[in-house]
Structure 1
Amino acid sequence: MTYDDYLKDLKVCCEKCFGLCCTALYFSKSDGFPENKEAGNPCINLQKDFKCSVHKKLRDKGLKGCIAYDCLGAGQKVAQVTFKGVNWRSDKENSNKMFDAFILMRQLHEMLWYLTEAFLLNKDIKDEIELLIKETDKLTLLEVDDFLELDVDSHRDKVNKILKNTSEFIRTKAGTSKKKKKIDYFGANLKNAKLRGVDFRGACLIAANLRGADLSYADFIAADMRDADISGANLGKSIFLTQAQINTTKGDSNTKLPSRITRPSHWR
């Protein structure tokens, strides 16, 4: 597979899924979901055809959790590849396997998202990254019983070493390899700040004011960016951003984003 093939595989296609994110996951109303829901129970808004009855009204209803969520293509992979088009309603005996597989697949697809970016960024270990991409992709194609036995944590450790190496490589090459000074930027006023190469991995950026900030080469792995204002900010060369992170932010037409991130429709 080429880089473009992998990216296509990591794009959500709800039409080929069976509402797995609306069923397999635990929901909390306080996190912007329709209700408090146990994992394995379908959402109250999931219809018999596996479509969401309020999909066009998510923002009006304040369902930020639904808006932000991105399975990175894990839903259709489990539905069409792992279970070969059989849905959890017609095969209730294996429904829990489908839900467990979806949660595992989402983790592997997230690793693939990051690894494909690392492949383009870190030429020093390009061959090593390519092998790990192929290994990860191969895991997503396992038969269901073998798939559910995967040691995902062990595989993630290998992936994380590559991602950390790539982050340091890029930030050092850019002459901006700054060490992260703190983890909590909750509500911080960073308007127009020069934040090139800052390590925001795992940082809390909830409601932070990043308007007009230069975030080139900054690393955003696992950063919580809910309600952060990135209007006019430059994230065009930021690394390890996901669509889900950007979906939770506030931005505008002047916000610069990496090419593989889609500008949210709700932005000004």
Structure 2
Amino acid sequence: MAALLILLISSLPITAYLLTAQTEQQSALELGQRPTDRDVPAIVILGDGAGPSNPAYRLRSQLSNVADGLSVTLQSRLLYAGQLYAEQRARGNTPLVIVSTGPQPILAQPNVTSTDVITNFLVQRGGVDSSQIRVDTESVDPRSSAVAVRQILSPGSASDNCRLYAICDNGNVQSVPTTTTAAGPRIPVELVTPALGLRRAASTFARLNFAIVPKPTDFYVFQSQAGLGLAALTDLIPSAEALGISSRVVDEYLATVYYFLRGWLTDPLGV
């Protein structure tokens, strides 16, 4: 009975509104307090890191163009990155555009890689020079993306692939977890990522010695600022979409706790 009640409450649109409002409003507030005209060596775009077999993919990544197979959300982030790239170029800076999306399904094009599709999209629709594009298709979460980006920007300084090993009394060899922080000056990057995951992603990158200029996307803008008094009747009717959004927020909270326990965050409560 309790599980059914939790499921019912989580399926209410008004619950999804309340869960997302605090995260998104805080992200927007912190974004407004940071300089936005800083020259950066790289613009980093994070993807959902999900494939067609993952339920999150079906909820978040509906395909709008079967020819290229890029999701609606990824296309919007790439276009936003193209805008940021143009702003940097207007100031005389030519940053790298690093797309860390994880494996991406490319439909109806068996001989075309996701790297080719993303590169062509950025060149043709984003106005980015092909020589400035780097695509990481191996990373599946913010931590692995941060490691990959760091290796691209500082290929000789990354130590995250190194491990310490200990020999136990029984002769077994075990890996010893480490929480080494990168040395040297912080690398400024513009980070394009969904607003719900902005705090975890920014803190993860900061842990690896990046100075983050957050550029949140994919805002869920539902509730008016007038408050709950203007909530529509449909906000009290359970829906699968509301359940998906509520689940995504809870997943983000749990992932943040996991990252904190692993020592991958600098400040889990801030950007």
Greater share of helix residues, 1 or 2?
2
TM range (shorter): under 0.3
Q: TM-score, normalised by structure 1?
A: 0.26
Greater share of strand residues, 1 or 2?
2
Q: TM-score, normalised by structure 2?
A: 0.26
Which protein, 1 or 2, shows the higher relative CO under an 8 Å CA cutoff with sep ≥ 6? Answer: 2
